[in-house]
Structure 1
Amino acid sequence: MFSGRRIALCFAVQELKAQLRGSQLWTFLGSFVHDDLPGVIRVANDLAVDFGEVLGTNATVVKADWKSTASSKLFRPVIIIGTVGRSTLIDGLVASKKLDTTALASKWESFSYQVIRNPWDGQGAAFVISGSDLRGSVFGAYDVAEKIEGPPSVKYRRIFLNDESPGLTSWGHAKFKDSQYSSPFITDFYKRIFELVLRMKGNHVWPAMWSSMFYLDDAKNGPTATEYGISMGTSHHEPMARVDKEQSRFLKGSWDWKSNKAGVQSFMQEGANRSKDWSTIYTLGMRGSGDAASATLTAAALEEVIAWQQSALTKALGKPLSQTPQAWVLYKYDNRGNIHRIPIGNEPNRSGGSRMYYHFDYVGDPQLPTAHFTALTWDRESFQAVDSTKAWLTDWGARQLGEAVAEATSNIMTTYGKLTARMKYKDLSRTPFYFNTVKLNNQEWVGFFEMVFHPVLAGKTIFEIYTKVAIGSKYVNEHRTSANQLAKEVQTAFSADSSITKRYRTLLNGKWDKILSQNHIGYNNWQEPGSQTLPKLSYTTSAAKNALMGVTAQGSTASFPTTAQIYTRDNGTYSYKITSSASYINITNSQGKLTAPGGPSDARSLITVDWASAPSGSSTATLTITNTDSPTAVATVTVPLENEAIPSDFKGHVEYASAVSIEAEHFSPPPASSPEYMIGHVLVYPFHTFTAASAVTLTVYLSPSENANPNSTNKYSFSVDGASLATVQPVPVGDGSKQPAGWAEAVIQNAYVSKQSLGRLEKGKHELRLWLLEPTMVVTKVVVDVGGLKSSLMGPPESVWVV
């Protein structure tokens, strides 16, 4: 069970055995008419409806204060929600010594739950939710639990509606009325966003801004955010609570501090004046127009800009600058998830602190990643264990879809994330390299399809398109007639993609219609393609005369089991037969008939070796593939063999296909006698080679992390067979104006691939020791190439591991 899980609706309080069952609904009693905040009244109604969703009948909400309530007799248990210092009910219970809220004093967004007997004469019991502030009361109502909750791990937890067009914008146009500026993002839309953010325990929102103006699209947007307890802000290039589209509509003159200082100042001052009564975190600084670089904004100019902005805030808000939340948002990473720089030394202790602006999700279904990261920022202590994310996923699956499918859901989404991280969908236009059933009712199935099955099914279809395009190109070079069939299958998958999207958009009578309207096939850069574009398909025509049979073989020395593929190179039918020169070579599908068109036009034969009968040392055998309908059509395949015994005391990975490939987690602990035994940061990889080679290469696959610590670059050290340590810096130091050399390849491959020469290695047992010298580094695989290793996206599959 995930340790950070919270109970959403509690029906039994252990301390006083106060039970809620059957028709005994609790009454919600809120003192919010005159002395608490509208946001608390709103959340009381939300919680009353929530109880109705579970119990069948909504709870009753009664608005009252301490004076009127103390003389009433409601006869049933009540739930009281209130903010300390704002609710006379809460304060009255404190004054009468019935309620203790000292643990909430001066706390940020904190809340407590207590069951008390006889809150006033004639009232038997009350379940009291006390909040230290507005959001504390709101979070307490949304997260009923049986203990005092401390402050969240991260103070401001922002959701940014970024890149909202076309998906969210098109959906918004279909569901809400447009503003006078043709934006669908009005108060009715944002109420739902604010409620969702609060339910996930967020508290800060950057609004949609591509074609929208939050404060102008609906005059109620600003005050509604404050009523809900949401702090608003604007993105990194939109200072002083004014969005980009306001510049093009209302700024007098150009967006240039040097040539139009007065115009820019007036524009910014209006943003502060307009938002002064609402909860706002003000973005400071300045960028060029449209988030572009500026030719005139020097460091000195930026200092002047920020100094003026802070004086403008003091003037507009009428309070000390130290009481006004501000943020200067410097771009944070490479848009691929790799951080440019982390805070160092005493930087987090500055008055402004140090925070991280990080996109955890750009395009795609955001439900799962948003839920995960808000849970992480709320209580990071729950994510300390190595398997905490897996445990959280299982818990998420249980809450969303039920315990019966929780583990399966976790496994599906873990595998999905791993596969999509290897090659992003938008990079698939480059040449890329157990099904089980579940029983769910209709309501559960909709949620399962939206959050689990759709991303997997749609993702599988995209990979199918690009993978079959790449394989088809290879088949054309081999003159396989099945290349034409693959082209048809790509077209079928392309059509299936549209059907999958339509299926999503028509769920629940079109509730999410148009939300998946973004084009996603045909990427060649970060921007979405203008249309759904099918990749270039490859076809083959007739082969040379008398060339009906085609044969390819896979593998190299010691790479068994391996395969031979027999196929048609023209329309027609022929029979084939495979024979071996050695009795210890075993062949599946050793004979058959192939036909094109209509098929099957391809056959795959698995080749294995009876090593006990094979000769020791190096040898070869020959496979003969014959077109039995045309005996002169013969192909031969030479099978090289290496049959060398592995020492009985060896434990580790052994050479396979001219290389030793090891997944990083399959290391061996250093022996107790080793000087590194107590240090614990060395990774030890024993390996065995069958080949003596004079130009051996070590390849280390590392996560594409950048040199985020300006005082210490990413480095690793290694040693083979006790040789002197070699230290490597895989990522060059950049000058800050551009990405380091090799970055473009690394982020597509999702790895920096570091190759180092080991010189000569004799055949036999060896040991690699690897040290990662920075905490930002992650190793995923190591490969020792003894000669002839072919290039591939993720390196060769893992070699045999003898344990």
Structure 2
Amino acid sequence: MWSPLSILFAALAPLPSVLALGGPTCLSFKSTQYAITTNSQAATIWIDSSDWPGVHRAAIDLQNDLEKVTGKRPVILNVTMSATTSNSNLDAASNTIPIIIGTVGKSNLVSFASQSSTTLKNKVAAIQGKWEAGISEVVKNPMAGVTAGYVIFGSDKRGTIYGIYDFLEQAGVSPWYWWSDVPYKNHSAIYAFPNVTCSHGEPSVKYRGIFINDEQPALTDWVIEKFSNGTVANRPPFNRFMYSKVFELLLRLKANYLWPAMWNSAFGVDDPLNQFTADYYGIVMGTSHQEPMLRSSPVEWNQFGSGQWNWDANQANLAKFWTDGVKRGAPYESIYTLGMRGTGDLPVDETGNIDLLQRVVAAQRDIISNVFNKSASTVPQMWCLYKEVQGYYQRGMRVPDDVILLWTDDNWGNIRRLPAHDERNRTGGAGVYYHFDYVGSPRDNKWGSAHNLPKFHHQLGLAKKYGADKIWIVNVGDIKPHEISLDFFMTYAWNTTIWSKDDLDKYRKSWALREFGSDSLAPTIADLVKRFSHLNSRAKVELYNSTMYSLTSYREAEGVMGEWDALVSSSNQVSSQLPAVYQPAYFQLVHHPIIAGRNTQALYIDAGYNQLYASQARSQTNQKADAVEANFEYDEDIRDQYHGLLNGKWNHMMSQTHLGYFYWQQPMLNSMPSITRVQKRQTALPGPMRITVEDSKGAWPGDNSNQCSQGYNCPPPNVPALTPYSPIQNRYIEISAGGPTPYTWTASSNVGWLKLNQTSGSIPDAYAGQRVLLSVNWSAVPVGTSPTGVVTIKSNGGQSVTVSMIADYKTVPSGFSGFVESGGIVSIQTEHYSRSTAVGGVSWEVLPQYGRNLSAVSPAISVDARWAPGAGPVLEYDFYTYNSVNGNITVTVYSAPTLNTAPGYPITYAIAVDNNTPITVQPMPLETDRGDLPSIWSVVVAEEVIRTTTSHKAAPGKHTLKLFATEIGFVTEKIVIETVSGSVAYSYLGPPESVKV
């Protein structure tokens, strides 16, 4: 399909400062023997006047863009050639070669060039009849009297159009030049490499598209402001002027398919030229899963329909409505959606009447046959198995083989079903409907960019391997702010063979280089994109709350904020180094997701601290309340900054509400998390000094419900024990204010091995606080002992609190290699296995940055591979424990909420300790035959993880945990072994990884 030689030649060629993503490089900005444009000579573009209108339109984009890149406007020669036409009218400049554009079977330029060049003739023959294939390269003597030309030939109109846009991308024009304001990269001259081809075969996925959905308020209000002419009254102007921007973006991304906005607009009615314009550009039109026969539902039905949306009760009117839709779309390239769902994106029949749906599909097929006056099997059709419709299929409903089966994800990026073995030979094939945007349970996902490339790369990789590659369409909501995710989605759909799980960093760097043109900054920008995508994907913003990240365990919340703060600092540094012309693009694509993501995270975490501090009688309660209010206002400031870019070009685009969800649906107005305050002039009853310690919500002196079970007369606090293998080699005591009275304090230890990072200080005001770190001088602790040390904190006002800590000096046998227990826990990132054993050529593979922690592991995708428990590929983890509960340990596996995509074969894993019999675990229950997701789905998908726990015999000592693959598609990121009951505290991310020796 793809030419290995073209990729090899590109690898050997000098790299330019701008790359076209996902393909070889044919252009250079350094002199070669073939100049396309020079300092003094503009490019010349030749195109046959008989070629497709869309090719001519793209050629004008080529002319306009090259003028912006080079400062010189190319000349377009529209050439009509025949067997009797002389080439004398083709005036090629002597010091440059022309760009020759043509479509096989449509352009006589292709025919004449093929006659002149045997090499080109063979290449043209190789792509003839192919889907969207193309040739782009220097050809010697393409026509009589022409020494050389840079040909861009396509097997069909889009094959040619993609060649044009690929040329422009290599020349320094980002596909996002308009939608994200990425500047043109200026070059005074452009050259072509000799003997290098940028030819491409058929794409990996045939139809690659987007669904504009849930488009209010952001996109709708933006469209009303920017495109307010020539549309139906009382509806937003989703007209040809607006859609032309979408069509061009899709083509520049090498996409070809669109489901238009549906809730407040009707594509075929609001502007009668919408469908014509789509076809003119070269875009295949369709409609969503709930809009049959290329008609908008509910908008068009409400405007033109008559009677109920019910086939049995209103057959004649529905048949006419659908027939009119097919007639309207017949002159254009379209895919017709079959089936019927109820209005408002709901089931059409709550009882799941399969007979009804089969009669609907049969009638729709008859309509298509009658309108086209040929078999419906020759007209592209799609049946989307969305939500309850998948249940119809599971209970036996079928459509003709030529209809594309469009499987779906769960709206949260986990594919629900893929073609089984006996479904892969259907002539219509299969595809996937995926989501970056969603409105529904358990919570809307409409604001921000919470999509991590490794996850959807893995899920779509499964789809490709299992033959679901006829359609990939993704719900992008308002398009913005999903630019990077959408860019990779289309790049991957175009050619899945060159983007492996290990190439995602390469993609990000190439993307950053293309958009911002800086070899020195591209690696940093790529890293920022990777990190903010990872942080955002841990949980949807709409699901944030004030206790999601633990405020007391494992320093989780402060660790998360540390990651965000480092991102903001790094992004600010990059922004300060970029020229002013790049600032709007950088803000939209990189800086806004970082500062908005950090601010939202801080808003909720500070709200959590506010409530915690109030319960601890700390005056910092008010400081955190102030921070929450400031962050809440700053959220609006960030939005307004976005809306003010480029004199308001993107006004309204960030107006989606996202703060203060009360149930699944978007709040009608952003609301601030609840905060509380303490009286400013009152002093806490025990006095002004407040002491809090690591891993506790309690506070001393005085009473607090979190100090002990009775909440009063509680003993002095202690902090968790330290061992030489504790992941964090210190513990902390926090000293803060319980009122307006300033004070000084001293801290002392009763043993020499217990070290304090500071022994005195002052709390000058109500907002002040200081942290004393406790660590151990292990050389002063006898091996194998567990002494207790005590720290005494005193204030100058006479308050005194003692805090104890144990130094548990554990050791492991000489020569042991593996993870070591500390505090009753062994926590393992699954990437860090001791050994990996393949079975039948299949092994576990690491998925970098997948999930909530460092990475994940999954058995390499191998179609239909499965194993009995204990017989499959295995990962082994050596670990050492000091404790057990009656000789038992519990093991919790943190896995991704992937669904059972293979019918009849649930996703499971098997687990064993040492040589004991493996235990089989099925993390996700099966879906019901009605298409309902499993009962636990709404919880685990919100947290992006499923925790499954097993019990194993394991006395203290050295052990090996074995994780066996049983089914393709299982993904896991963390394993936590608990040797002391209750030792694992609540945390969103799980305990930090244990020390490995």
TM-score, normalised on structure 1? Answer: 0.94
- Following superposition of structure 1 onto structure 2, how do residues 1-40 of structure 1 map, counting pairs within 5 Å? 5-6=22-23, 10-11=27-28, 17-18=34-35, 20-32=37-49, 35-40=50-55
CA distance in 2, matches of 1:278, 1:621: 81
Does the residue aligned with 1:150 lie in a helix, a strand or coil?
coil
Paired position in structure 2 for 1:685: 877
1:171 deviates by 1.1
Q: Which one of 302, 319, 322 corresponds to residue 248 of structure 1?
A: 302
**1:254/1:430 CA distance change after superposition, 3 Å:** farther
Paired position in structure 2 for 1:161: 212
Does the residue aligned with 1:724 lie in a helix, a strand or coil?
coil
Paired position in structure 1 for 2:335: 281
Most deviating of 300-309 and 445-454: 445-454
Most deviating of 145-154 and 463-472: 145-154
1:405 deviates by 1.4
- Following superposition of structure 1 onto structure 2, how do residues 507-526 of structure 1 map, counting pairs within 5 Å? 507-526=645-664
Does the residue aligned with 2:601 lie in a helix, a strand or coil?
helix
Cα deviation code 1:747-772 (max 9, x no counterpart): 1221000111225x333222111113
Paired position in structure 2 for 1:406: 522
1:611 deviates by 1.1
- Following superposition of structure 1 onto structure 2, how do residues 479-498 of structure 1 map, counting pairs within 5 Å? 479-498=617-636
CA distance in 1, matches of 2:527, 2:535: 12
Q: Which one of 805, 808, 815 corresponds to residue 639 of structure 1?
A: 805
CA distance in 2, matches of 1:268, 1:215: 13
| Matched letter for residue 283 of structure 1 | T
Paired position in structure 2 for 1:556: 720
| Matched letter for residue 790 of structure 2 | L
Matching of residue 59 in structure 1 with residue 59 in structure 2: no
Q: Which one of 788, 792, 796 corresponds to residue 987 of structure 2?
A: 792
Most deviating of 56-65 and 293-302: 293-302
CA distance in 2, matches of 1:399, 1:471: 42
CA distance in 1, matches of 2:232, 2:740: 64
CA distance in 2, matches of 1:192, 1:428: 34
| Matched letter for residue 735 of structure 2 | I
**1:287/1:430 CA distance change after superposition, 3 Å:** farther
Q: Which one of 319, 323, 329 corresponds to residue 269 of structure 1?
A: 323
- Following superposition of structure 1 onto structure 2, how do residues 464-503 of structure 1 map, counting pairs within 5 Å? 464-503=602-641
- Following superposition of structure 1 onto structure 2, how do residues 733-744 of structure 1 map, counting pairs within 5 Å? 733-737=926-930, 738-744=932-938
**1:583/1:626 CA distance change after superposition, 3 Å:** same
CA distance in 2, matches of 1:271, 1:53: 41
Cα deviation code 1:374-401 (max 9, x no counterpart): 00000000113x3111211111011111
1:302 deviates by 0.6
- Following superposition of structure 1 onto structure 2, how do residues 385-400 of structure 1 map, counting pairs within 5 Å? 386-400=501-515
| Matched letter for residue 368 of structure 2 | L
1:116 deviates by 3.4
**1:652/1:123 CA distance change after superposition, 3 Å:** same
**1:242/1:424 CA distance change after superposition, 3 Å:** same
Matching of residue 617 in structure 1 with residue 784 in structure 2: yes
TM-score, normalised on structure 2? Answer: 0.77
- Following superposition of structure 1 onto structure 2, how do residues 52-131 of structure 1 map, counting pairs within 5 Å? 52-67=67-82, 70-76=87-93, 77-97=97-117, 99-100=120-121, 101-131=124-154
1:8 deviates by 7.5
Most deviating of 426-435 and 281-290: 426-435
Paired position in structure 1 for 2:757: 588
Does the residue aligned with 1:411 lie in a helix, a strand or coil?
helix
- Following superposition of structure 1 onto structure 2, how do residues 389-788 of structure 1 map, counting pairs within 5 Å? 389-402=504-517, 403-429=519-545, 431-433=547-549, 434=566, 435-436=569-570, 437-438=573-574, 439-541=577-679, 542=682, 544-554=684-694, 555-558=719-722, 559=726, 560-597=729-766, 599-600=767-768, 602-631=769-798, 633-669=799-835, 681-694=873-886, 695-737=888-930, 738-759=932-953, 761-787=954-980, 788=983
1:596 deviates by 3.3
CA distance in 1, matches of 2:593, 2:510: 19
| Matched letter for residue 513 of structure 2 | A
> Percent sequence identity over matched residues?
33
1:512 deviates by 1.1
Does the residue aligned with 1:148 lie in a helix, a strand or coil?
coil
Q: Which one of 308, 311, 318 corresponds to residue 257 of structure 1?
A: 311
- Unaligned stretches of 5+ residues in structure 2: 1-10, 12-18, 168-195, 387-407, 439-445, 449-480, 550-565, 695-718, 845-870
1:13/1:146 contact within 8 Å kept: no
Cα deviation code 1:19-45 (max 9, x no counterpart): 64322222111112xx22111110111
CA distance in 2, matches of 1:119, 1:108: 24
**1:496/1:792 CA distance change after superposition, 3 Å:** same
2:134/2:154 contact within 8 Å kept: yes
Aligned length: 793
CA distance in 1, matches of 2:578, 2:130: 43
- Following superposition of structure 1 onto structure 2, how do residues 358-373 of structure 1 map, counting pairs within 5 Å? 358-362=434-438, 363=446, 364=448, 365-373=481-489
Does the residue aligned with 2:876 lie in a helix, a strand or coil?
strand
1:676 deviates by 12
CA distance in 2, matches of 1:165, 1:763: 59
**1:630/1:69 CA distance change after superposition, 3 Å:** farther
CA distance in 2, matches of 1:443, 1:481: 46
CA distance in 2, matches of 1:176, 1:531: 26
| Matched letter for residue 742 of structure 1 | I
Paired position in structure 1 for 2:236: 183
Cα deviation code 1:161-193 (max 9, x no counterpart): 111111111111111124124222111111111
Most deviating of 721-730 and 735-744: 735-744
Cα deviation code 1:199-231 (max 9, x no counterpart): 000000000111000011111111111111111
CA distance in 1, matches of 2:410, 2:141: 59
Q: Which one of 272, 275, 282 corresponds to residue 222 of structure 1?
A: 275
1:589/1:603 contact within 8 Å kept: no
Q: Which one of 194, 207, 210 corresponds to residue 247 of structure 2?
A: 194
Cα deviation code 1:282-331 (max 9, x no counterpart): 00000011211223661011110001101101111223222200000111
Taking only aligned residues, the RMSD between alpha carbons, in angstroms, comes to 2.4
| Matched letter for residue 141 of structure 1 | I
State the structure with bigger RCO (CA 8 A, min sep 6), 1 or 2. Answer: 2
CA distance in 2, matches of 1:387, 1:727: 30
Paired position in structure 2 for 1:173: 224
1:680 deviates by 8.5
| Matched letter for residue 895 of structure 2 | L
CA distance in 1, matches of 2:903, 2:267: 37
2:890/2:950 contact within 8 Å kept: yes
| Matched letter for residue 720 of structure 2 | S
Most deviating of 609-618 and 526-535: 609-618
